[in-house]
Structure 1
Amino acid sequence: MILDSENGLLLMRNDHLDERNWRSDDCYKLIFSPFGRGDYQTQRGDITIDHGEFFIFNPNEVHKQLKATKEKFLVEIQPSLLRDAADHLGFKHTDPEFSMVSYKHPQIRQWVSFVRDFLSLNDGASSAANQFFLDHSLTQLSIMMLQYGTGSHQSEFPIINSQANINDAIKALKESYNEDWTLDEMAAAARLNKYQFAHLFKEELGLSPYSWLQLYRLFRSQNSLLHTNDSILSLALQHGFKSVSSYNHLFKKVYRKTPSEFRRIHGFKK
Structure 2
Amino acid sequence: MILEHDKGLLLMRHDSLGERNWRSDECYKLIFSPYGKGLYQTGQRDISIDAGNSLILNPGQQHKQLHVTEEKFLVEVEQSLLREVAEQLGFKLTDPEFALLPSINPQIVNWISFIREYITVSSNELFIENSLTQLAILMLQNSPGSHSNDLPVVSGELENVTNALKEGYDENWTLAEMAEQSGINKYQFAHMFKKQTGLSPYSWLQLYRLIKSQQLLIQTGESILTIAFKVGFKNISSYNNLFKKVYGRTPTEFRMFYRNNK
TM-score range, shorter chain: over 0.9
Q: Is the alpha carbon distance of 1:25 and 1:94 closer, same or farther for their aligned partners in structure 2, counting shifts above 3 Å? A: same
Q: Judging changes above 3 Å, is the alpha-carbon distance between structure 1 residues 160 and 33 closer, same or farther for their aligned structure 2 residues?
A: farther
Q: Does residue 1:160 correspond to 2:141, yes or no?
A: no
SS at match of 1:267: helix
CA–CA distance in structure 1, aligned partners of residues 48 and 140 of structure 2: 21
1:210 to 2:197 alignment: no
- Per the alignment, residue 259 of structure 1 pairs with 251
Offset of 1:152 from its aligned partner? Answer: 0.7
The alpha carbon displacement at 1:267 in A equals 2.9
Counterpart of 1:35 in structure 2 is 35
Amino acid at match of 1:142: A
Distance 2:167 2:153 in 1: 16
Equivalent residue, structure 1, for 2:163 = 171
TM-score of the superposed pair, with normalisation by structure 1 = 0.94
Letter of the aligned partner of 2:215 in structure 1? N
2:239 is matched with 247
CA separation in 2, counterparts of 1:19 and 1:247?
A: 33
Match of 2:174 among 170, 182, 186: 182
1:64 Cα deviation after fit: 0.9
The answer for unaligned runs of 5 or more in structure 1 is none
- Aligned residue for 2:11, secondary structure, equals strand
Aligned-pair distance for 1:184? 0.8
Residue pairs, 1:104-183, within 5 angstroms: 104-120=104-120, 122=121, 125=122, 127=123, 130-157=124-151, 159-163=152-156, 165-183=157-175
Change (3 A) 1:134 1:94: closer
Kindly provide the amino acid, as one letter, of the partner of residue 222 in structure 1: Q
Shift of 1:41: 0.6
Find the aligned partners of 2:208 and 2:185 in 1 and give their Cα distance.
23
- Tell me the matched-pair count: 262
Equivalent residues of 2:44, 2:245 under 8 A apart: no
> Is the alpha carbon distance of 1:269 and 1:5 closer, same or farther for their aligned partners in structure 2, counting shifts above 3 Å?
closer
Counterpart code for 1:250: L
CA shift at 1:244, angstroms?
1.0
Cα separation, 1, equivalents of 2:258 and 2:135:
23
**In structure 1, the residue corresponding to 2:159 is in which secondary structure?**
helix
1:112-162 alpha-carbon deviations (Å, 9 max, x no partner): 001011122x1xx4x5xx2121111000001111111111101122x1333
- Kindly provide the CA deviation profile for residues 13-36 of structure 1, in whole angstroms up to 9, marking residues without a partner as x: 111111321111111101111111
Residues 47-101 of structure 1, C-alpha deviations (whole Å, 9 max, x = no match): 1111111111111111110111110000001100000000001012251111111
Residue 10 of structure 1: SS of its match in structure 2?
strand
* 2:191 counterpart of 1:195: no
Distance 1:185 1:161 in 2: 18
Provide the aligned C-alpha RMSD in A. Answer: 1.3
How far apart are the structure 2 equivalents of 1:93 and 1:42?
A: 24
How far off is 1:238 after superposition?
A: 0.4
The percent of aligned pairs where both chains have the same amino acid is 56
Aligned: 1:24 with 2:16: no
Cα distance in 2 between the residues matched to 1:161 and 1:99: 18
Q: 1 CA distance for matches of 2:252 and 2:172? A: 25
> For residues 46 and 134 of structure 1, what CA distance do their matches in structure 2 show?
31
State the alpha-carbon separation in 2 of the partners of residues 268 and 170 from structure 1: 34
Contact 2:53 2:104 in 1 (8 A): yes
Partner of 1:12: 12
> Partners of 1:72 and 1:246 in 2: how far apart?
34
Q: SS state of the match for residue 29, structure 2?
A: strand
